[in-house]
Amino acid sequence: MSVNLPNLLTIFRIVLIPLYLYVFFSPNPYHLEIALAILILAGLTDIADGYLARKHKLVTTLGIVLDPLADKLMMLAVIASFFATERISMWAALFFFVRELAMIVTGAVYHLRGKKTVPANTYGKLTTIFLYVVIPLIMYRYEYGEMILWSVIAFSFITSVIYLGKFRLLNRS
């Protein structure tokens, strides 16, 4: 198992998840601003770890597995916090959770079976960017925030189909 700087940044993103939840649900009057800052930090470390891994040829199997897992776990925490505070409907949360959990389980099954996993592609990165754009809208209760989230959820399902196709093609044998 190779732990290098990009992998440490990914692990740091995972550590930010409980911190985000603690701050989001805290009674601090600036809790939303601090929670959003934590999410921005997570997004910046996501960009940094990918850049460093590619630029310095530090891409590892651990990173390929942990990076999307860190993204998904953070987004699951964010969506759970939005549902718990009635910022989004149960249906939006449910569709989001089903998609994310299905992607985590599929990736884990492929990895545990010794199959190759597909690193993040443009569609997956776009999905993450779209989520980071919609998060402040929902966090601050923008009137059309959930409607925009539904668009991102629909796009994420399309992205999932693309990933599954790539998983199958990569592992044909």
- 145 close to 87: Cβ distance less than 8 angstroms: yes
| Same domain, yes or no: 29 and 102 | no
Quote the pLDDT of residue 62: 85
| Same domain, yes or no: 12 and 78 | yes
Quote the pLDDT of residue 68: 84
| Same domain, yes or no: 136 and 161 | yes
If you write DSSP's letter for every residue of 47-76 in order, what string do you get?
A: HHHHHHHHHTT---HHHHHHHHHHHHHHHH
What is the pLDDT averaged over residues 133-146? 96
Within the chain, strands assigned E span none
Rounded-to-integer distance, Cα 138 and Cα 132, Å: 10
Which residue among 68, 85, 102 closes a domain? 85
Which residue among 63, 85, 107 closes a domain? 85
Whether this prediction's pTM lies above 0.95 is answered by no
Total structural domains within the chain: 2
| Same domain, yes or no: 77 and 14 | yes
| Same domain, yes or no: 102 and 57 | no
Quote the pLDDT of residue 2: 62
| Same domain, yes or no: 106 and 62 | no
143: pLDDT confidence band, cut at 50, 70 and 90?
very high
Which CATH number fits the domain that encloses residue 12? 1.20.120.1760
- Quote the percentage of the chain above a pLDDT of 90: 65
What is the pLDDT averaged over residues 16-24? 98
| Same domain, yes or no: 118 and 45 | no
Rounded-to-integer distance, Cα 42 and Cα 28, Å: 21
Tokens describing residue 153 = 């959820």
Which residue among 60, 85, 110 closes a domain? 85
**Domain range spanning residue 149?**
89-172
**Contacts for 168 with CB less than 8 Å, ≥ 6 apart:** none
